Chain A
Amino acid sequence: MVRVLSVLAIVSSLALAASACRAQVEGMDLKAAYIFNFAMFTTWPDGNAKAPLVVCASPDNPLWPGLHALNGKVVNGRPWTVTELAHPKTPHCDIAVLARTAQQPALPATGMLVVRDGAGSKAAITLVEDDEHIRFDIDTQEAARNGLRFSSHLLRLARNVL
């Protein structure tokens, strides 16, 4: 009887662990999708319509797989192209996805949308988890400094707008 109960406990704890893990993966994919959507509501200064949309991220960033999965999808006519943040050949980043504590890359700041996963140092958009919902804060001054503009639709949905 006890064995049966312990087996049940093990099975249930395993199942719980699996669902938690799946939820975490889904959260990462959702954040990647959000970043993709941010791109849809953002206007870049150069207005280079056909050039690939370069998305820079660190491969060890948990969002990497999710971002990578979106490779090739078109944002406002520009193909979504994920590249390593530290790669020496990277000329510039249209979107820089940074972990909570990561430093901004030493790349030209103009035309670079900095998205930070978790509230840390400065970023144009900061993804936050609020009451099990993924929300975001927008720092319009930070964005403006890099020459970026956001759609009012996006601003309306932001948790905070600085």
Chain B
Amino acid sequence: MLGVGQLLAAAAALGVACCILLAYQFVALRRSLTDDLAVQAAIIADNVSATLMFHDQDAAHEMLRSFRHSSFLAAATVYDRQDVEFAAYRNGAVEETPSLLRDWTLFTPLSVARPIRYRGMALGRVVLTADTVGIRNGLLRYGALLALASLGALVTTSLLTRRTKARMRRAESQLKHLAYTDTVTSLPNRRCTYEALELELAMHGETGGRVGLLLIDLDNFKVVNDTAGHAAGDRLLRQVANVLRATARPSDRIGRIGGDEFAVIVAPLDDPAELERVGQRIVAGLRQPLQVEGLEVIPTASIGACVFPDDAHTMSELLSNADAALYHAKANGRDTVAVFEREMILATQRRARLDRDLRRHLEAGLLELCYQPQYACGSRKMVGVEALLRWPHPDQGYISPAEFIPVAEETGLIVDIGKWVLERACLDAVALYRQTGTWLSMAVNVSARQLRDKDFIRIVEHTLATTGLPPDRLELELTESMLMEDLDGAVEFMHNVRALGVRLSIDDFGTGYSSLAYLQTFPINHLKIDRSFVRLLPTSGTTIAGAVIGLAHGFNLTVVAEGVEEPEQFEWLRQAGCDYVQGYLLARPLPLAALRARMLEERVPAA
């Protein structure tokens, strides 16, 4: 575990290095010994020459004996001219050398021979033999030192390696902690939560126990984040995390799985109803006001709940079903808990299918527009039409806009659809003029999503330019509620559109805020009385209808009543001063060809 292999490799490398150093040391020691021996031979040869000349063996012996102090000289022998031994010295060490080393050729004694001369006269030779015990001891000492140094190096290396590895392990565990923890709330993050969920499911799946999953989405996180800044948003998240910790059961696992999304894994869960109770507790706990950066925020949340294995058999199913329930909770006014039911998933699936088909059919050009004429109350002449989108689905027949428009709003497809509608309506208006010689006012509905799109004003401008429709023939219909979403942006858009010459109307007036103050600031041309009020006429609802008409005229606006189906309704509206009416009584929504035919037909008697 501590890199035994690496240690062995290092040891082997050191071993090789030691061998090379030892070999070098051996050669160096031997060379040094040979040099020393050569020097001593020269000294002896110099000093022994006279004794040879005078045959004084005693003096020669004495001279040789003075070399007994040499640490390495084992034997010195002087031979005369006839190669007869003249004098010799032995220290006896050569004989004492252990046989093991003597047999080892590396440590055989070293010999040096040198001729003895005096003034060019050859007198004999001297042979010196050196003891290699010194080399052997030197090598042994050196080897021991190397071994010690290598051992020290290895120990140091292994200690350092161990410390480095420990540091790496610490860093790894820290990284792992970071990978599994949300740094804002210190809760387990999405990955960790999902892994925990997987584990819980595996555990309880075997024993047949239940696992509950709550997906929690803050309703107003985006508002806090946008108005008070990210720091405030983070504080809100931390406080929500604290609330969750306080309200969930101790055995439950809490995690932050997205920007403002939390998950609570409720396990073990004996009673499926317990899950909803936990969810209700959380909703109630969150509803307490929190102080965030001086603002008082009441963090409400929508919660989707789903139980494994009752409502889902796999983890992905559990997650998507809980998500469907969460969607339901949000759709049902938020700040509530929705427990998953089969129907939710059916609705979700239908929405997904609608979105897919709508996208495909828009591209294929299968969508249609039809036009509902608007008549002037006084002259009963057709003055304009409202463009209405129709989707003839090949399998399911006509699908109600009330069903597919919200889906398109949600997925953003409405932007493309709106663009197409605008262009188609403008082209048709121009075509109608060319065929009938009459300009109609073309009313086109605008969705909230389009209004938020910064490019929309340019799209309008561009469409008018390319289709050739005079701007004052185009009327964009907005709803009160979409204007209230982003008041400043909406007012700016309205002014820009009015600057182009396009007219504006407020749809469904009277159903929403109906703020008189806003009515004064909006640069609009028409008000539409909602069909819910018209339907009641003339027996009841006359107060509101009359008030709207009066109000509109007061602001110098024209009034259009929609959904007029009875002659009595029409009569009442005409007398009340309503400017235009639209409804089945006068004309149903018509395809382009039928509209053209109707226009031509109505023109003749008039003309």
Which residue numbers of A lie inside 8 Å of B, CB to CB? 30, 34, 37, 40-41, 76, 133-134, 136, 151, 153-154, 156-157
Contact = CB atoms under 8 A, between A and B. Distances in A.
Contacts of A40: 53, 118-119, 121
A37 B54 contact: yes
A154 B50 contact: yes
A156 B59 contact: yes
A153 B119 contact: no
A158 B42 CA distance: 23
Contacts of B51: 157
- Main secondary structure, interface of A, reads helix
Interface in B331-363: none
Interface in B98-128: 118-119, 121
22 contacts: A30-B55, A34-B54, A37-B53, A37-B54, A40-B53, A40-B118, A40-B119, A40-B121, A41-B50, A133-B55, A134-B55, A136-B54, A151-B50, A153-B47, A153-B50, A154-B50, A156-B50, A156-B59, A157-B50, A157-B51, A157-B56, A157-B59
Interface residues of B, number: 12
Contacts of A133: 55
B193 interface: no
Nearest to A151: B50
Contacts of A34: 54
Contacts of A153: 47, 49-50
A157 B118 contact: no
Q: Top 5 nearest A-B pairs by Cβ distance?
A: A153-B50, A37-B53, A157-B56, A157-B54, A157-B59
Contacts of B56: 157
Nearest to A40: B119
A26 to B, nearest CB: 12
Nearest to B51: A157
Interface in B115-172: 118-119, 121
Interface in B22-53: 47, 49-51, 53
Contacts of B59: 156-157
Interface string B52-86: 01111001000000000000000000000000000
A94 to B, nearest CB: 17
A153 B59 CA distance: 11
Interface string B564-583: 00000000000000000000
User: For A37, A153, A154, which residue has the most chain B Cβ atoms within 10 angstroms?
Assistant: A153
A151 B46 CA distance: 13
A131 to B, nearest CB: 11
A154 B54 CA distance: 9
A100 to B, nearest CB: 20
Contacts of A134: 55
A31 to B, nearest CB: 11
A96 B311 CA distance: 143
